[in-house]
Chain A
Amino acid sequence: MDARHIVKEPLLTEKQTYMSDQHNRYGFLVAREATKTEIKEAIQSLYKVRVLSVNTHNRTSRIRRYKYGAIEGKTTKRAVVRVHPEDKIELV
Chain B
Amino acid sequence: MSSSAPAKNQVKVENIGPSRKRVTITIPAEAVTGQLETTMSTLLSEAELPGFRRGRAPRRLIEKKFGGAMKTEARNQLLASAFSEAVQEHKLEVLGDPDGGDDLSKLELVAGKPVTFSLEVEVVPEFKVPKLDGIEVNKPQISVDDKMINDQVDKLCLNEGRLDPQDKAGPGDYCIGRGTMKTEDGVEVLDLDGAVIQIPPADKGPKGAILGIIVDDFAKQVGLPKAGDSLHVHAVGPESHERAEVRGKKLRIDFRVDRVERIVPAAVGELVSKYRLADEAQLRESISLQLNRRVMLEQQAAMHSQIAKYLNDHVEMELPEGLTGKQAERNLQRARLDMMYRGMDAQQVEQRIAELRGSSKEVAARELKLLFILARISQDLKIGLTEEEVGGRIAQMAASRGVRFEQMRDELVRTNQVQMVAQQIREQKTLDALLGKAVVKEIPVEEYNKLVDEQATAGSGKGKKKG
Residues of A that sit less than 8 Å from B by CB: 11-14, 16-17, 92
**Assembly CA distance A13 to B52 (angstroms):** 6
A92 touches B61 (CB 8 A): yes
**Assembly CA distance A24 to B56 (angstroms):** 19
Provide the residues of chain A in CB contact with B57, threshold 8 Å.
Answer: 14
Q: How far apart are B246's CB and chain A's nearest CB, in angstroms?
A: 57
Q: How far apart are A31's CB and chain B's nearest CB, in angstroms?
A: 21
**Assembly CA distance A12 to B57 (angstroms):** 9
B52 touches A92 (CB 8 A): no
B56 touches A12 (CB 8 A): no
B64 touches A14 (CB 8 A): no
* Pair count A-B, CB < 8 A: 17
A92 touches B64 (CB 8 A): yes
Provide the residues of chain A in CB contact with B60, threshold 8 Å.
Answer: 92
Residues of B that sit less than 8 Å from A by CB: 51-53, 56-58, 60-61, 64
**Assembly CA distance A12 to B52 (angstroms):** 9
A14 touches B61 (CB 8 A): no
Chain A: CB-nearest residue to B65 = A92
Provide the residues of chain B in CB contact with A17, threshold 8 Å.
Answer: 52, 58
Q: How far apart are A76's CB and chain B's nearest CB, in angstroms?
A: 15
The 7 A-B pairs at the shortest CB distance, nearest first, are namely: A13-B51, A14-B52, A92-B61, A92-B60, A14-B56, A17-B58, A92-B64
B61 touches A12 (CB 8 A): yes
B64 touches A12 (CB 8 A): no
**Assembly CA distance A44 to B57 (angstroms):** 27
Determine chain B's interface SS by DSSP, over half rule.
loop
Chain B: CB-nearest residue to A15 = B51
**Assembly CA distance A11 to B52 (angstroms):** 11
Q: How far apart are B236's CB and chain A's nearest CB, in angstroms?
A: 66
**Assembly CA distance A14 to B56 (angstroms):** 7
B58 touches A92 (CB 8 A): yes
**Assembly CA distance A15 to B371 (angstroms):** 65
Q: How far apart are B58's CB and chain A's nearest CB, in angstroms?
A: 5
Would you give 17 A-B contacts (Cβ < 8 Å), ordered by A? A11-B51, A12-B51, A12-B61, A13-B51, A13-B52, A14-B51, A14-B52, A14-B53, A14-B56, A14-B57, A16-B51, A17-B52, A17-B58, A92-B58, A92-B60, A92-B61, A92-B64
Q: How far apart are B68's CB and chain A's nearest CB, in angstroms?
A: 16
**Assembly CA distance A16 to B56 (angstroms):** 12
Q: How far apart are B397's CB and chain A's nearest CB, in angstroms?
A: 58
Provide the residues of chain A in CB contact with B53, threshold 8 Å.
Answer: 14
**Assembly CA distance A62 to B60 (angstroms):** 34
Q: How far apart are A11's CB and chain B's nearest CB, in angstroms?
A: 8
Chain B: CB-nearest residue to A21 = B58
Q: How far apart are A74's CB and chain B's nearest CB, in angstroms?
A: 17
Q: How far apart are A16's CB and chain B's nearest CB, in angstroms?
A: 8
- B52, B53, B57, B58: which has the most chain A beta carbons within 10 Å? B58
Chain A: CB-nearest residue to B61 = A92
Provide the residues of chain B in CB contact with A16, threshold 8 Å.
Answer: 51
Q: How far apart are B62's CB and chain A's nearest CB, in angstroms?
A: 9
Q: A13-B52, A92-B60 are in contact. List 15 more A-B contacts (CB 8 A).
A: A11-B51, A12-B51, A12-B61, A13-B51, A14-B51, A14-B52, A14-B53, A14-B56, A14-B57, A16-B51, A17-B52, A17-B58, A92-B58, A92-B61, A92-B64
Provide the residues of chain A in CB contact with B64, threshold 8 Å.
Answer: 92
Q: How far apart are B103's CB and chain A's nearest CB, in angstroms?
A: 33
Q: How far apart are B228's CB and chain A's nearest CB, in angstroms?
A: 61
Chain A: CB-nearest residue to B56 = A14
**Assembly CA distance A17 to B56 (angstroms):** 10
Q: How far apart are B138's CB and chain A's nearest CB, in angstroms?
A: 80
**Assembly CA distance A12 to B51 (angstroms):** 7
Provide the residues of chain A in CB contact with B58, threshold 8 Å.
Answer: 17, 92
**Assembly CA distance A49 to B57 (angstroms):** 25
**Assembly CA distance A12 to B61 (angstroms):** 9
Provide the residues of chain B in CB contact with A92, threshold 8 Å.
Answer: 58, 60-61, 64
Chain B: CB-nearest residue to A17 = B58
**Assembly CA distance A92 to B49 (angstroms):** 14
Chain B: CB-nearest residue to A90 = B60
Q: How far apart are B201's CB and chain A's nearest CB, in angstroms?
A: 74
Q: How far apart are A40's CB and chain B's nearest CB, in angstroms?
A: 24
Provide the residues of chain B in CB contact with A11, threshold 8 Å.
Answer: 51
**Assembly CA distance A16 to B51 (angstroms):** 9
Provide the residues of chain B in CB contact with A12, threshold 8 Å.
Answer: 51, 61
Q: How far apart are B367's CB and chain A's nearest CB, in angstroms?
A: 60
**Assembly CA distance A46 to B64 (angstroms):** 21
Q: How far apart are B210's CB and chain A's nearest CB, in angstroms?
A: 63
Chain B: CB-nearest residue to A91 = B61
Chain B: CB-nearest residue to A16 = B51
Q: How far apart are A18's CB and chain B's nearest CB, in angstroms?
A: 10
